[in-house]
Amino acid sequence: MDDIATLNARLVELEIGRAHQDRVIEDLNEAITAQWKLIDELKRDIARLTAEVREAAVATGPGEPEPPPPHY
């Protein structure tokens, strides 16, 4: 009878551990999903800012070259 109680206790411990692992996996999945959403948003921001910088560079033109510094 003691063996059955021991096995039952071990089974309960394993089930509890599995439940905790499932929750940790779910939490990690949520964190990764949130990070990917943020990464996608940041990529869009970078693309937008890159386009704005290019447009600004084209709009301002090459400009006049700067004179050399006085120590030349």
Below-50 pLDDT ranges, the chain: none
Q: What is the pLDDT of residue 72?
A: 61
Q: What is the pLDDT of residue 16?
A: 98
Both tokens assigned to 36: 């990917």
Q: What is the pLDDT of residue 28?
A: 99
DSSP tag of 71: T
- 23: nearest Cα among 12, 35, 15: 15
